[in-house]
A = this chain, B = another copy of it.
């Protein structure tokens, strides 16, 4: 009996996107259930008491394993032997990967998503009214600082954490691709970051993300353009 995987996720959630990219890169098939997590659906709360996506339910010969949120899911997928390794064994590159994942999941999430995505996306989904311009401006400034840093890294290395594609690239791409969906990523001012993003964007694992469409919130015109 093969392992069945069901991913509960929200397409424009950066944490869900990291997991979809890792599943895609490892060529692990999975079924999907889209959750509108802000409505606190009962099944999601039953699986994950925090009420946050993503949740991956693995059913196999050894029973059912419920994996809640990106940290547990990525760790589990890394233990599966098929496909590319996304977390190096070598200490320096491993430490760098985990530093950058935390950078995006904590600092970028707080500096940028908490302002820019909240004002432009969450308020729309939750019916909370128009974005506040002062908060948008602060979010845009923080985004430029982050892109400046990414630009330097991308100019010096093959991939963000060093020589191999890793969780760090997927964390960065997951967060930035949602910012890009809402039309807020000024790629042309950060050429090395743009080249890095073009390489990530053209990977087969990224294709499903480029097909995401949130009703009532159409993407920026260049969102799914590989030659943006």
| Residue pair A50, B98 in contact (C-beta under 8 Å) | no
A44 vs chain B, min Cβ distance (A): 14
Q: Which of B76, B94, B95 contacts A66 (CB 8 A)?
A: B95
- Total residues of chain A contacting the partner, CB 8 A: 29
Known: A91-B65, A92-B65. A71 touches B98 (CB 8 A): yes
A16 vs chain B, min Cβ distance (A): 14
Closest to A66 in B: B95
Known: A66-B95, A95-B76. A101 touches B50 (CB 8 A): no
Q: Which of B72, B94, B102 contacts A99 (CB 8 A)?
A: B72
CB-CB under 8 A from A69, the residues of chain B are 98-99, 102, 106
A8 vs chain B, min Cβ distance (A): 14
Q: Which of B65, B70, B95, B102 contacts A65 (CB 8 A)?
A: B95
Check A48 for interface membership: any CB of B closer than 8 A.
yes
A19 vs chain B, min Cβ distance (A): 13
Give 29 pairs: A residue, B residue, CB < 8 Å, sorted on A. Answer: A49-B103, A50-B102, A50-B103, A50-B106, A50-B107, A52-B106, A52-B107, A62-B91, A65-B91, A65-B92, A66-B95, A67-B99, A68-B95, A68-B99, A68-B102, A69-B98, A69-B99, A69-B102, A69-B106, A71-B71, A71-B98, A71-B101, A72-B98, A72-B99, A72-B102, A75-B98, A76-B91, A76-B95, A105-B106
